[in-house]
Amino acid sequence: MNKLTPKAAFRKLAAIYDKMVAQYGEAADAIGLTCEGCTDNCCLSFFQHHTYVEWAYMWEGLKQLPADRLEEIKARAQDYVDQAQAALARGERPHIMCPLNIDEKQGICGLYKHRLMICRMHGVPNLLVKPNGQQVQFPGCYRCQERTEAYEQDGKMAPVVNRTSLYKDLVMLEMQFVGKNLRQLPKVDHTIAEMIVLGSPRLR
pLDDT digits (tens, 9 = 90+) for 86-144: 999 999 999 999 999 987 665 678 999 999 998 988 889 999 999 999 999 999 988 99
What would the pLDDT profile of 41-61 be if each residue is shown by its tens digit? 788 889 999 999 999 999 999
Please give the Cα distance from 127 to 117 (Å, whole number). Answer: 14
**Residue 32 backbone phi and psi in degrees, to 5:** 70, 35
Confidence of residue 183 (pLDDT cuts 50, 70, 90): confident
Backbone conformation region of residue 54, classed left if phi is above 0, alpha if psi is from -120 to 50, else beta: alpha
Q: Exposed, middle or buried by CB within 10 Å (0-12, 13-18, 19+), for 196?
A: buried
- The total of other beta-carbon atoms located within 10 Å of residue 128's CB is 15
Please give the Cα distance from 53 to 174 (Å, whole number). Answer: 6
Please give the Cα distance from 146 to 152 (Å, whole number). Answer: 10
pLDDT higher than 70, residue 69: yes
In this prediction, residue 113 carries a pLDDT of 93
pTM given for the model: 0.90
Q: Smallest Cα–Cα separation from 107: which of 196, 197, 34?
A: 34
98: helix, coil or strand?
A: coil
Q: Exposed, middle or buried by CB within 10 Å (0-12, 13-18, 19+), for 38?
A: middle
Average pLDDT value for residue range 11-18 = 97
In this prediction, residue 104 carries a pLDDT of 64
Average pLDDT value for residue range 24-33 = 92
What percentage of the chain has pLDDT greater than the value 70?
Answer: 98
Q: Where are the domains of the chain?
A: 6-198
